[in-house]
A and B are shown apart, each in its own frame.
Chain A
């Protein structure tokens, strides 16, 4: 059955190539090689909440669908570069306010409809819509209007310059404007279409025969979801999965390192674990209190406890893969005496008590336990309140009803969120807001980088949040596998090039 299906796929792809419309579709693999039919079994701990990245689908939906089922005008490569994808070319007006994109020809949605500029307009407006929960919504709100003068042309007009527009557009999935019910089904242009999503268990992707580019290097992928790292590692050991997208248990690595059947790759992650304060409310409205808390927690010990030597400390929101990274770990060093002095200066010599809203999944409860014991040493009492991901979203993210919380932030280039005073942590520093705004309107990348470095240093000086550590990104795969991404930027996981055998 698989073989027959692959045959049809190749025939269709060849037919497309024969039209000569797209040079990218020309080179075809011979179906007789065998490995191109193999299904790749992927193990992950991040099942999507739903299939819509503007509807709170979580990082799982990015991992499974980004670049696989849905494509943007641009894509972010595993190396962190932005490349054309559905956009073939772009033109920017001299004032930097008008972008004209030409769409790639011969692109079809999985439903069979051809891609037009109307779909692009609809897709961008979906992200900036009132009820959108997209992580990039606020950055894309700089868009004043999107026009579709003809089927292949999209004109985006901005309210002010936006140097990261193209980068931000790589987050915007192009969906069929007529598609319904995107929370449970899909209609994208990617190399795979959705097979079956068995909630709580698996999500399968099948090659889309009408894909505009070359066929994927495999015959489909199945994401297997686990809620628990040990079970996931056991699945890899027994061969039930071929690859683990992001290893969450350092203690299990010993089973794979030094074993010729497996390959362990440590790439760059953009996921940061944050102790996020509610900067609006006392006592965390005082930078000195936040600095004291940051200095009272031994981040190195926490990282060692959870990751046993993997991962790194960055001291701020910017990971080393962002162009404006600086090592800022010395700004709020681990220093209990300093913390005590700062607390006294802020008027909390006797400490205080607060509730820490803690997501109920690893590593948050462990980190909360550690923070509680560290802060006890400077007289601060922590009440740990364990909540679910849904509760976190409504209580903390939407209603800002919290004192402090723990959360992992997976995106790269997300320091800009400190320029939005309405974000859940409520950090409001006019200077930083201006720098971030100016950086966005910068004419050159150097100017942008300079301004964001300043902003990043300032949020560290203000201890806007406490950036506990940067996760490691560890991919463990069967040594038969090749072509998989190792960096997991933004937690995306392109399955397109993965080959077995």
Chain B
């Protein structure tokens, strides 16, 4: 329970940064009037980058990008994954086998490579990153959903519901989904953290949203050359990434403990 609260606080910090950035920013993100690599303190709370832009401003915008990337990927991966998982769970033997094989293949495919493919076909943007991460995630979610569905379908109460005349859609809504959502929710929360990290990696490699979008991954990349003279530029986005990902994981753990009928 303590972990859950701590997680909420950590995620809350990032949420607050992102929310505030929508209505107020310390500086215009395109404002290059500052001096080069100003140390933290004074007019620039966290200092400036090479171009004289305010670091805090970019971190706040970066929080928005990180949360968007996480939420977008989870939404896409969740919807696709749960749908595919349900289909596989209910499918006839051969279709189930085919779907399972396809999912395994997709899981074996590195997310980065998938992202590069998506970027090559589309362009380097936040949308492409979310699409790639969401697709990769859908396979993981689908596999989990499939197993959960099969486990539920093997239960006696399903047979009972069917013999008493319930249709399959009704069984899904009344019996299957209520039994699998707690596990799914925990898993999706974990996937959120992974998606945030994946987006930062893609941006670090230049495959994320193009400049001047201040993804934390891009900020890390840009600060790399000046890490010895202006370390805050690299440390600050790094810390925020840790805060968000640890926070999300703690929340996921908490959710698992709170879920009804938890396994542990």
Contacts and interface: CB of A to CB of B under 8 A. Distances in A.
Contacts of B123: 385
Interface in B68-105: none
Given A385-B123, A386-B124, A370 B51 contact: yes
A334 to B, nearest CB: 13
B219 to A, nearest CB: 12
B222 interface: yes
Interface in B212-235: 212, 222, 224-230
A305 B123 CA distance: 28
A384 interface: yes
Contacts of B224: 228, 230
Contacts of A374: 32
A372 B30 contact: yes
A376 B30 contact: yes
B31 interface: yes
A304 interface: yes
B162 interface: no
Contacts of A118: none
Contact of A373 (B30, B50, B230): B30
Interface in A383-408: 384-386
Nearest to A249: B225
B212 A373 contact: yes
Size class of the B contact interface (CB-based, 8 Å): 20 to 34
A21 interface: no
The listed residue with most A CB atoms (<10 A of its CB), out of B124, B211, B229, is: B211
B40 interface: no
Interface stretch (A106-114, A284-292, A358-366): A358-366
A385 B36 contact: no
Nearest to A308: B36
B12 interface: no
The listed residue with most A CB atoms (<10 A of its CB), out of B212, B225, B229, is: B225
A372 B206 CA distance: 18
Contact of A366 (B210, B222, B227, B230): B222
Interface in B91-134: 123-124
Contacts of B182: none
Interface in B33-62: 36-37, 50-53
A2 interface: no
Given A308-B36, A360-B206, A376-B30, A365 B226 contact: no
A305 B228 contact: no
Nearest to A375: B30
A229 B229 CA distance: 14
Contacts of A369: 51, 211-212
B35 to A, nearest CB: 9
A254 interface: yes
Given A305-B52, A386-B210, A373 B32 contact: yes
A366 B32 contact: no
A311 to B, nearest CB: 14
B109 to A, nearest CB: 22
Contacts of B229: 251, 254
A251 B226 contact: yes
B54 to A, nearest CB: 12
Size class of the A contact interface (CB-based, 8 Å): 20 to 34
Contacts of B52: 301, 305
Nearest to B229: A251
A370 B32 contact: yes
A254 B228 contact: yes
Given A306-B50, A369-B51, A372-B30, A384 B206 contact: no
Contacts of B53: 373
A252 interface: yes
Contacts of B226: 249, 251
A255 interface: yes
A251 B225 contact: yes
B30 A365 contact: no
B124 to A, nearest CB: 6
B227 A384 contact: no
B228 A385 contact: no
Nearest to B224: A230
Interface string B157-190: 0000000000000000000000000000000000
Contacts of A230: 224-225, 227
Contact of B228 (A251, A304, A365, A368): A251
A389 to B, nearest CB: 13
Contacts of A372: 30, 211-212
Interface in A161-177: none
The listed residue with most B CB atoms (<10 A of its CB), out of A230, A376, A386, is: A386
A384 B36 contact: no
Contacts of A301: 32, 52
A322 B37 CA distance: 34
B112 to A, nearest CB: 16
A360 B116 CA distance: 14
A368 B211 contact: yes
The listed residue with most B CB atoms (<10 A of its CB), out of A228, A358, A373, A374, is: A373
Contacts of A368: 211
Given A370-B51, A384-B210, A252 B225 contact: yes
Contacts of A366: 50-51, 211, 222
Interface in A411-468: none
Nearest to A253: B229
Nearest to A298: B32
B225 A362 contact: yes
Interface of B: 30-32, 36-37, 50-53, 123-124, 206, 210-212, 222, 224-230
22 contacts: A228-B225, A229-B225, A251-B37, A251-B225, A251-B226, A252-B228, A254-B229, A305-B50, A305-B51, A360-B206, A366-B51, A369-B211, A369-B212, A370-B51, A373-B32, A373-B53, A374-B32, A384-B210, A384-B212, A385-B123, A385-B210, A386-B124
The 3 A-B pairs at the shortest CB distance, nearest first, are namely: A373-B30, A369-B212, A251-B226
Given A360-B206, A384-B210, 14 more contacts: A230-B225, A230-B227, A249-B226, A251-B229, A251-B230, A255-B228, A301-B52, A305-B36, A306-B50, A358-B211, A368-B211, A373-B30, A373-B31, A376-B30
